[in-house]
Chain A
Amino acid sequence: MKKDTVSRLQNRLPVFLAAVFLMLVLAGCSAGSSVDTTLVLNSDLSGVRQMTVTIDQKVFEQNFNGTVENINALLETQCPPELTWSYSDADGNMRYCVSLEFSSLDDYRAKVAAILGSDPQINISVPDSIWASGISVEESFTSLDLLNWMKDLLVNNQFVDASNAGYIFNAGSTDVTYQDQSYTTGNYINLNQMSYVSLDAIHILTQINEDGSYNRKVVVRIPGASMNQKSEEIQAYLNGVVPAGAKAEWGEDGGLTVFTVSAENLTAQQLAEFDRAVFDTEDVTVNGADVSESYSPFTFANSLSESINLDGYLSDRALPYSYQVKTADSYTAYWSDDGVNGGNAGYDSQDFSGYKVLREGTQSRNNGPVTFSVLVQKAYGVRELKVETERTAFGSGWKRTSSFVLDAVPSEEEQAAILERMQARAGIEEDQETGEDSSEPETDSDETNSGETGSEDVSDPGEETETKEESDHAKVTVSGETDKDGVYSLTVVQKGKAEELSQSSETIFGSADQIFYGVDRGFAKVKRADAFSEKVRFGNLLSNTTDDFKISYTAKMGLFSQMSYCSVDSAQMDGNKLSAVFYGKEIDIDYAGTKLNLWGLLFWILIVVGIVSVVILLVKLQVFGKMFKKAGGAKAAPAAPGTAPAAPGTVPEASGTAPAAPKAAMFCEKCGTPRVAGSRFCEKCGAKFEDAVSQDGQ
């Protein structure tokens, strides 16, 4: 029995020893290969990550199924495109050198992400300023993660048994090399070799001048500890960032060293160059623009937006900063997120007289640039708006005069700008004829289509006629004037039909108006009911008004108008003028009343004249006389002797005689003068009475 056991053991011993040996090789003092990593960085954050895979020849021969050629052929086709590889066996060991080259930090991130199949965390900072210098690198992956694809290749192609997959690679050393200095780190690179000199705060001061130029001041506050640490370097550095033409000065303030660099009357481009020099970075953008067009013609506005990368001044902690603005008199600065609409007006700076703090905060390294957006505005307030509406002759159109009275007199340049902007709104071309008097510049826009004028109805002058015309535009005139009391007003005159005025208002005031006038349709009425309605909004022209702003409104009604209803309680009639005051920013008035209808009056006058003429005619023709005679004769017959003598002009009836002689006319046929009894000729005109002749028989 014992012999059998011993012989069985002896037979299995080589296998056992081989297995033990294999275990020792694979799981013992080293794996299948060792991976050493060197990350080489340049100052522009380009570089290369070299991963050297060293395989012991004997381990390879014993544990790798296949040849080097097999593996190389596989790598040739299967290596990720982000990597390059090479093979050498010069010193008896097999070496694969796998490299990942990158041109920038973003490129590095992208390539690693492509290999890993997920976004890695890679933070690399190599500042070289007085405030921060050195290197810091932090990664969330190792070289073994980057070589997983190779392990999978070997296993999938059965060069290594799957059970041994975990032993193929073993992490070796990891180094980071920067500027000829090498730093050893762990497999997960986490290197911090930074030195910092911190600042107390940076204040960026901007003065916006009336001519649109900028004065810039950058104030750097440095703690005493930092000055003690690197006084000479700090002074040399800051003195070195002062651009040509700028002023620099050093001071002390409560234990802090204060460095101020300033320049004046800069354009936007010069301001950008100043910022690039002082903040020691190319990552600066400055944009200045005149955005007055976005506002009413009475407002002047400029926007300034800046983007400044403060990394050149940042250390290991967040740096407090402020952005402060000072403007010319009568201008106001606002923080503006979009460069057009003003927001927060900031608060008075306690450190810098005349400045307003519009933005303050802290900035840390590698957070990108800080952005500032400022809107500077000067707005003239509208104190009063005088509006006069009237219907033009023959009632076919309207004329509206709107005068905007400002609370102050703009300068000549501003007046010209206001006029130009309003003309642009009204669509008045620049090459139109302009007034010669500079204090009362005036241009006309005659855009009325003079072709088809439609049917001009000869109707009541007070009536509105609706005539459709093609391509109709209102005639618009814009003028500005400063009166003898030193009050400036801008006047807009619109002439045209109701629809034309509405279109014109939409262009100039921003919203279409409504204007209506109508009269009762009874032509024969001497007094007709009429109705008038006007609704006008003035848009952003009234965006800035004084506290005592009002709209003084008048509208001319027809002749002998009488108001019977008005939607505005304070409305009054003064002659034929309707007047009202509005304290809001729009006109909304409805009027009902009566007016003299000239055509109706004329109609009735003509009728009366006609009737009177008929009556006179009838009298002249003695129609009434004959009628009276007939009536008188029927009563008096038969007449008795001794009756009273006939009245003058009458022929007495001869009683009992037959046949009766024809009766004489009582009035002269020609002039109608009463006839004297027995007379043969008219006493007035001398006409011969024919009946007197016939009666006499002569």
Chain B
Amino acid sequence: MKKIWKQPFFYIACISFLLAICVGVVSSVSQPKVSVLEKWEKGVNKGSQKILISCFPPEQQALLTGMAALGAGLEDMTGDMGKVTLIYSQPVEDEDGNMTVVVAALEYRDGQCVDLDVEHMELTEVNGKLYLSDF
């Protein structure tokens, strides 16, 4: 063990790993993921209405679940679509307290991006968690 402290590569390794952690932390903190959008992306790609419904406020989930049961849910979100990647800005709160985020939905088929749609989405906060505002 004594010899380790004398090895410069020990310090190089420590510094490298520390810096890598810092880079990772800073990158993550500066551009945090918005969990509801990550969930939405996951739901769209899996075709899971359950996941999509969980993106809405709790008070709307029951209604959406019922609509889904009747076939009037979010079927158009889980239809014939390629892989969807969501790229989004950080949510911004305006002076009225409304939170909006700009979301670009990239659709990939066979590894190629075939469509891009940019939308403004409204978010709402319930009990400290962000949800999609409307459907």
Given the complex of chains A and B, what is the CA–CA distance between A189 and B52 in angstroms? Answer: 90
Cβ contact of A603, chosen from B20, B33, B93, cutoff 8 A = B20
Out of B13, B24, B87, B92, name the residue touching A614 (CB < 8 Å).
B13
The minimal Cβ–Cβ distance linking B29 to chain A, given in whole angstroms, is 8
A610 within 8 A of B: yes
Q: In the complex, what distance in Å separates the CA atom of A208 from the CA atom of B91?
A: 58
Chain A residues contacting B3 (CB-CB under 8 Å) are: 621, 669
Chain A nearest CB, measured from B128 CB (Å): 20
Asked whether any CB of chain B lies closer than 8 Å to the CB of A158, the reply is no
Chain A residue at minimum C-beta to C-beta distance from B27: A523
How far in angstroms is the closest Cβ of chain A from B42?
13
Known contacts A457-B30, A464-B89; A617 and B7 CB within 8 A of each other:
yes
Number of A-B residue pairs having CB atoms within 8 Å of each other in the complex = 123
Q: In the bound complex, what is the Cα–Cα distance between A606 and B27 (angstroms)?
A: 14
Q: How far is the CA of A609 from the CA of B14 in the complex (A)?
A: 10
B112 within 8 A of partner (CB)? yes
Q: Quick check: B104 and A592 within 8 Å, CB to CB?
A: yes
A563 (CB) vs chain B CBs: closest residue = B113
Do most interface residues of chain A lie in helix, strand or loop, or is the interface mixed? mixed
Chain B residue contacts of A602, Cβ below 8 A: 23
Among A9-17, A76-84, A524-532, the stretch in contact with B: A524-532
Cβ-defined contact, B24 with A524, below 8 A: yes
- Interface presence of A188 (CB below 8 A): no
Which of A468, A593, A610, A621 makes the CB contact (< 8 A) with B16? A610
**Residues of A close to B24: CB separation below 8 A:** 523-524, 603
**Cβ-defined contact, A521 with B13, below 8 A:** no
Contact B13 A617 (CB under 8 A): yes
B1-39 Cβ-contact flags toward A at 8 Å (1 or 0) = 001100101101110110110011011101101000010
Interface segment, B43-51, B55-63, B70-78, B114-122? B114-122
Partner of A617, one of B10, B102, B112: B10
CA distance A533 to B89 in the complex (A): 12
Shortest CB-to-CB span from A655 to chain B, Å, is: 32
A591-B88 contact given A460-B27, A533-B104, CB 8 Å threshold: no
Measured as residues with beta carbon below 8 angstroms from the partner, the interface class of chain A is 35 or more
Structural contact, A468 and B116, CB atoms closer than 8 A? no
Rounded to whole Å, the gap between the CB of A466 and the closest CB of chain B is 4
Residue B98 CB within 8 A of the other chain: no
Instruction: List chain A residues, Cβ under 8 A from B23.
Output: 523, 599, 602-603, 606
For window 524-551 of A, CB contacts with B under 8 Å fall at 524, 529-531, 533
In the complex, the answer to whether B20 meets A607 with C-beta atoms within 8 Å is yes
Instruction: Given A457-B30, A592-B106, A610-B13, check contact A518 B7 (CB 8 Å).
Output: no
A559 CB, min distance to chain B CBs, angstroms: 16
A459-B26, A609-B16 given; A518·B114 CB < 8 A: no
The CA of A593 and the CA of B89, in the complex, are separated in Å by 16
New contact pairs (4) apart from A531-B106, A606-B23, CB-CB < 8 Å: A520-B87, A523-B28, A565-B113, A590-B116
Which residues of A are interface residues toward B (Cβ below 8 A)?
457-460, 463-466, 468, 514, 516, 518-521, 523-524, 529-531, 533, 564-565, 567, 590-593, 599-600, 602-603, 606-607, 609-611, 613-614, 616-617, 620-621, 669
Can you give 23 A-B contacts (C-beta < 8 A)?
A: A459-B26, A464-B89, A466-B90, A521-B31, A521-B38, A523-B23, A524-B24, A529-B85, A530-B87, A533-B118, A591-B116, A593-B113, A606-B19, A606-B20, A606-B23, A607-B17, A607-B20, A610-B12, A610-B13, A610-B16, A614-B9, A614-B13, A620-B7
